[in-house]
Amino acid sequence: MGYVTGPRKHACKPGCRGWVHFGHALKVSLWHELAIVASFGVILLLTWDADNKIGL
């Protein structure tokens, strides 16, 4: 749907390879990956004093 994408919203130029292509791919999914890390942090804070930490 395009709500949780990154700052890059256009395709790479033909022949784009290597680290430049990796950087473009990272920019495409950046907000999604940061949302996963933030969700993990919230779950960690909510369950910090829990008896069973294996599920985390």
Per-residue pLDDT tens digits for 4-18: 777 777 788 888 899
Residue 13, in any domain of the structure: no
Range of the domain at 37: 31-56
pLDDT bucket at 2, cuts 50 / 70 / 90: low
H helix count then E strand count, the chain: 2, 0
Residue 15, in any domain of the structure: no
Residue 45, in any domain of the structure: yes
Q: What is the pTM of this model?
A: 0.64
Residue 12, in any domain of the structure: no
Percent of the chain with pLDDT over 70: 89
Question: How many domains is the chain partitioned into structurally?
Answer: 1
Asked if residue 48 has pLDDT above 80, the reply is yes
Give pLDDT, residue 41.
93
